[in-house]
Amino acid sequence: MLIYFLVAVTLGAWGAVYFLYFRIPLQDWFGNRFGRESTPEIKELAPDEPRTSFAHMPSSDEDTP
């Protein structure tokens, strides 16, 4: 049981050292990852022509036999 306690203390100590050493890069990463800023507003522009699928193109008169 003592070995499990020592492993937990060791992992906790290494985690604390890692966090203290990389504190500023981690704060920047978390700020960028989870949004410290507001979301950008995206304007959706209406297309000039209606969108059509390439699979649904009207047949031309030249293709009919």
CA 39 to chain CA mean position, Å? 13
In this predicted structure, what is the pLDDT of residue 19?
85
pLDDT in tens, 6-27: 999 999 999 999 888 888 888 8
Six-digit token pair at 24?
A: 């500023």
pLDDT band at 47 (very low <50, low <70, confident <90, very high): low
Looking at per-residue pLDDT, the higher value among 30 and 6 belongs to 6
Range of the domain at 18: 1-31
pLDDT at 4 over 70: yes
Residue range 35-46, pLDDT digits in tens: 766 665 666 666
Count of domains for the chain: 1
Q: Which pLDDT does position 55 carry in this prediction?
A: 61
Question: Is residue 12 assigned to a domain?
Answer: yes
Q: Could you tell me if residue 20 is inside a domain?
A: yes
N-term to C-term CA, the chain = 86
